[in-house]
Structure 1
Amino acid sequence: MSIRHGLLALLERSPMYGYQLRHEFERSTGATWPLNVGQVYTTLARLERDGLVEQTGESDEDGKVVYRLTDAGHAELTGWFATPLGGTDRPRDELAIKVALALTTPGVDVRAVLQTQRTATLRHLQELTRLKAVADGSEDTAWLLVLDSMIFRAEAEVRWLDHSETRLARLATAPRPPASPPAAVRADEPSDRAVRR
């Protein structure tokens, strides 16, 4: 998730200060991606530097600076919503990397890694399903869409773990090619037996 674009989307709604942005970000995503207020202010400083947001000149009763979207910020946000995410735009899949390394690292039981992850993913999937069951469909539409995405991702992860375990099991039971026979000893070369005598 791009914090940068998330904040721009929130400022499209109305001007806000940092703590409001953090609260609205977490409310909109069901606190799926907890956001540190320091990240908010650091990102706001960059957005202001890039001309995408500006201070309104107003502040709340506690002196917190209120930010608003600029025309350039609106254009950036519109472009972000209109552009699909590519495979290279997403974070690396740490689980796939972990399993690949477990497979090639001496002393690591890759099946145990897969099983441990499957147990954790199924537990997470149960928790997501529970959250979905108690959400209010008319009030929490944004949160339900986020939950659905997380549920589908967890289900896909379980399928991939099952597939990986099946593939490893097939490799373990596949017949191995016969070892190549030793090179034939030529008649004019002494054999090891002859040399040892």
Structure 2
Amino acid sequence: MAIRQGILALLQDKARYGYDLRAEFEARTGAVWPLNIGQVYSTLDRLERDGLVTREGDDGEGHVIYSLSPAGRDELDQWLSTAVGRDAPPRNELAIKLSLAATLPGSDLPAIIQEQRGASLARLQELSQQRKDASGTPRAADTARLMVLDSLVFQLEAELRWLDLCEARLVHTGHIAAGLPDAGPEPAG
């Protein structure tokens, strides 16, 4: 996750302290990826070391205030104007789990797929309801939250399609009997 760049982005409009950065990050992303406050402060220390943020003193209550340096603004501009790389895909625990289960004697791969499908469908319903509840308001924070929710919904929809394909592949290769409920179309080739 781009915590480093996220903190730089949050410092663009005003100087902030660590707890404020955490709260603002969670507010702007719909609290989907909660931040550990220790992670925020260790990132701020590295950003300061790298000359991307500067300390502005404290707020009188013991909170150290950080602001974006010119070098930090340059790095933020570079991050915002550059496409996210897809060279090294993030680890996908579900793909790892299914690929390993497929090679383990005695593993019940159809049951694993069905269990995951149920959990993914339930989460998809939750996120769809959250998306419905958040729509209809023009506030920037709500728009940002909707963008995050849309991303998560589309990821779950893709995951469900992939689970259907995995199940169809098992049927096609003879690893499980045909006629399972929810099995998708057989893969080509």
Same fold (TM over 0.5): yes
Shorter chain as denominator, the TM-score bin is 0.7 to 0.9
Shift of 1:122: 0.5
Shift of 1:14: 0.8
Shift of 1:90: 4.3
TM-align CA RMSD: 1.4
Number of matched pairs: 173
Q: State the partner residue of 1:123.
A: 122
Runs of 4+ in structure 1 over 3 Å off:
none
**Structure 2, gaps ≥5 residues long:** 177-189
1:91-132 Cα distance to aligned partner (Å, 9 max, x none)? 212211111101001221111111111111100000000101
Report whether the alignment pairs 1:25 with 2:52: no
Relative distance call for 1:173 and 1:17 in structure 2 (3 A) is closer
Aligned ranges for residues 91-130 of structure 1 at < 5 Å?
Answer: 91-130=90-129
What TM-score do you get using the length of structure 1 for normalisation?
0.84
Q: Which residue, 139, 164, 167 being the options, matches 1:165?
A: 167
**Structure 1, gaps ≥5 residues long:** 175-197
Shift of 1:89: 4.7
Shift of 1:62: 1.2
Report which of the two structures shows the higher radius of gyration computed on alpha carbons. 1
Range 102-111 or range 63-72, more displaced: 102-111
Shift of 1:12: 0.8
Q: Which amino acid aligns with 1:18?
A: G
How far, CA to CA, are the matches of 1:173 and 1:108 in structure 2? 11
What TM-score do you get using the length of structure 2 for normalisation?
0.87
Range 18-27 or range 99-108, more displaced: 99-108
1:5-60 Cα distance to aligned partner (Å, 9 max, x none)? 11011001210000000000000011000111111001000100011101012x11
| SS of alignment partner, residue 68 of structure 1 | strand
